[in-house]
Amino acid sequence: MRSAAVPAFDTSIWRVLGNPLVGSESGSETGAPLHGLTVAVKDLYDVAGFAVGAGSPEYLREQSVATESAPALRSLLGAGASVRGIAQTDEFAYSIAGANVHYGTPPNPRVPDGLPGGSSSGPAAAVALGHADIGLGTDTAGSIRVPASYQGLWGLRSTQDAVNRSGLLPLAPRFDAVGWLTRTPDVLRAAVVASVEPHLQRIAPQRYAVAASVVFGLEDDVQAEFLGAASRLPVDLVDVGDVTALFQAFRTVQAAEAWQIHGGWVRAHPGALGPDVAARFAGASQVTGSADRAARGVLAVARERLDHILNDRVLLLPSTASTAPRRDSDPATLDRSRSATLALTCLAAIGGYPALSAPLLSVGGGPLGLCLVGPRFSDLALVDAAVELATALG
């Protein structure tokens, strides 16, 4: 499916928009796999001729113009795609809501009163609305999978380090990964082929697994929908450990790294951040070295356990703990939703595994992604497996 005409300039979605903003590097080669497709680039990647804004006007004002585009973007341009525009992100990608106090909250066309999901909120909305074919985003704690789930998109967090991350503003390098959002699996597959070297790709296991601690912690409606799908597949029941404890350890390490990278700028710019992201950085500033080391120890044990599980299985779980929360939800409700979702999404981040959100579930009329977490470098195989699951699940 090709993009619609250039959309009206919605600053909640776009920071910069063009037609195209950056042309394809394959020229007019009609045989290029991404020929004619357009990309919405999350405002964390270097785009030649533009500065990175990271969702913050004050940060943007201080940055220099990039002289060349990030390798992850050049891979898509080399395969025939062009850049439609630079799309908005939650500030420094430190959120999964999709709201930005400076630029507004992008729409969610599948759930009009719902949040779009972040922090790849701009690229997700651009793709869901048909204004771009591929959203080039990032996923540290779920920032590809959450907007994909909320908006009924295909979204893949790549194996960490399967794609060159230079030219990408980090949040927490221990967990940061490149990712893509599309409306269809064939476009997603083409983006993966263009971006991940063939020698790095491996076959995904043919067996599926479901984690008991994940299932029992789900809300009733999500649990019923997920188990309804899982019951139609051959699955093994596995133990991934205490997901709440794993999330706490993950959050500690993520916070420590985020503060190490951005703490100096945050301290030097009081009042520059929205309240939620500012509070997150304030908490990050309090993480001690001993707490960070203890949390890393917990994650090391969890990674060994997950490596064993994923050696011959693909883990299935809901992409998010709920469908898109309402925009007018109170902060306490949003925080509970965020924590419940991150307890699911952090599992892939802990081990640097690829994780695909496929729009195969629905709760209360809203889309809900089915997530497939595979062994490292099974990125392409997960897309193919999800297509087969879509057929199996009807």
Q: Which amino acid appears at position 137 of this protein?
A: G
Among residues 3, 12, 26, 143, which one is catalytic? 143
Residue 319, both tokens: 């992409």
Q: Which fold has domain 1-238+313-394?
A: Amidase signature (AS) enzymes (3.90.1300)
Among residues 26, 42, 95, 149, which one is catalytic? 42
Residue pointed to by tokens 């939650």: 90
State residue 2's pLDDT score: 43
Q: Is the dihedral of CA 120, 121, 126, 127 positive or negative?
A: positive
Q: Is 42 a catalytic residue?
A: yes
Quote the strand ranges of 158-207, DSSP E. Answer: 178-182
Q: Using one digit for the tens of pLDDT, what is the confidence trace for 58-117?
A: 999 999 999 999 999 999 999 999 999 999 999 999 999 999 999 999 999 999 999 999
Q: Is 143 a catalytic residue?
A: yes
Of residues 40, 8, 29, the one with CA closest to residue 123: 40
Of residues 73, 46, 178, 91, the one with CA closest to residue 132: 73
What pTM was computed for the model?
0.95
Compute how many other C-beta atoms are within 10 angstroms of the C-beta atom of residue 376. 18
Write down how long the chain is: 394
Beta-strand pair 154-157/355-363 = antiparallel
Among residues 3, 26, 119, 158, which one is catalytic? 119
Look at residue 28 and tell me whether its pLDDT is greater than 80: no
Phi then psi dihedrals of residue 301, to 5 deg:
-65, -45
Residue 186, both tokens: 């064939």
Q: What is the mean pLDDT of residues 256-260?
A: 98
∠ Cα 32 34 36 (to 5°): 95
Residue 141, both tokens: 């704690």
Which among 18-22, 219-223, 255-259 has the top mean pLDDT?
255-259
**Domain layout of the chain by residue ranges:** 1-238+313-394
